[in-house]
Amino acid sequence: MNDRTRILAAVGVTVVLFLGIQLGALALVEPFTESERQAVENPEDPTNSILYVGVMLVATGLMLAAFKYDLDWLIRLLLVAVSVMISWYVFAELVPAVVGSLVSARIAAGLAIGASLAVGAALLWYPEWYVIDGAGIVMGAGAAALFGISFGPLPALLLLSVLAVYDAISVYGTEHMLDLAEGVMDLKIPVVLVVPMTLSYSYLDAGSTDDVLEDGGVETSDAAADEHTDAVETDRTDADTDSQDEGGTLDRDALFIGLGDAVIPTVLAASAAAFLDAGVLAVPGLAVNLPALGALLGTLAGLLVLMYMVLEGRAHAGLPLLNGGAIGGYLLGALAAGLPIATALGL
C-alpha cells in the first residue's frame, strides 16, 4: 500500500468513525428523551456547563494522581465500568427496537444487559483495536446523546467554547494533558479511537507509550477522564523506533484519535436536534434538523483540517478546530432554517 493510499484510508476510516458516533447520537436523541434520561432538571441552565467543566477538572487531577502512584488498574476498571453503563443505556433502547416484536420485554432487557456486559468483558480481556473502536462508537454515541438532551443550545455552546479554550491551554500552555494522554493510552480502553495505518497492525502487540520518542514521537492534544482526549499519533514498537525520525507519520502503524474529539462537538448537534424545532429533515430513524446537520458537517470540516495537521507531523489541540467547526456549522444551519441568531444562541 503506497503512502497516498495509506493517508486516504486513515482519513476515511477516521471520518467513518466520527460519522458513526454522530449518527448514532442523533438516532438516540428521541429514545433517550422519551426514557427521561436527562442528567439535569433544567437543561437550559447555563451553570450546568460550568459544573460539568468543574467535575472534569477534578477527574483529570484524580487520574494524574492515580498514574503517579501506580493505580492504573483502578482507572482502567472504573472506565470499563463506565463503558458498560453507557453501553447499557444504548442497548436498552436499541435491542427492544430490533427484537421487541419477537421476544418479551423481559428477554429484551436481558439481552441488553448481556450485550453491555459483553462489551466490558471484551475490553478487559481482548482490547484489540476493532474492539476499542466498536466500544468507542457505542460509548461516544450514547454519551453525546445523553449530554445533548441534558444541555440546551446555550449551555451546549458554552460547554464547547470553554472546553476549546481549556484544550488549547492544556496543550500549548501547561501541557499537563500530555502526561495524562501517555497514561490513558497504555490502559487500552475506549477513550481513543484507533485508526490502523497498516493491515497487519495489532493494538494488543503494540508497544507502550514509553517507547515513543519525546520529539515528534507523539502528536497529542488531550486526554481526560470524561473521554475528553484529542488527536494523538500512535507510539512505535521497538522494532520501528529506529526509522521513526526518518519516516515521520507515514511510517507509523496507527493513529489515535481521542474519543472526546468526536463526543464533545456532537453534543451540540444532539442538543440542536433535541431543542430546536426548525428546518426538520425527514431522515428515517434520526432526529435531525438544519442546525444539527450544520454542526455535524462543521465538525467533519474541522476534523479534516486537524487530520492534515497531524499527518504533517505537528501536535495540535483538537477541540478548537472541531468545536469551532461545530459551532460555525450550527449557526449557519440555524440561519438556513430561518432562526434568529438570538434564538440559536439560546438567549
Run means of pLDDT, 10 residues per run, the chain, 347 residues: 79 95 96 90 88 84 81 88 95 86 84 96 94 96 95 95 89 68 76 87 69 32 37 37 44 81 96 89 86 96 90 77 96 94 88
3-state SS class at 346: coil
| Angle subtended at Cα 199 by Cα 196 and Cα 200, rounded to the nearest 5 degrees | 100
| Angle subtended at Cα 211 by Cα 205 and Cα 212, rounded to the nearest 5 degrees | 115
Strand (E) or helix (H) holding 12: helix 3-34
- pLDDT computed for residue 242 by the predictor: 38
**Hunting for cell 434520561 — which residue is that?**
37
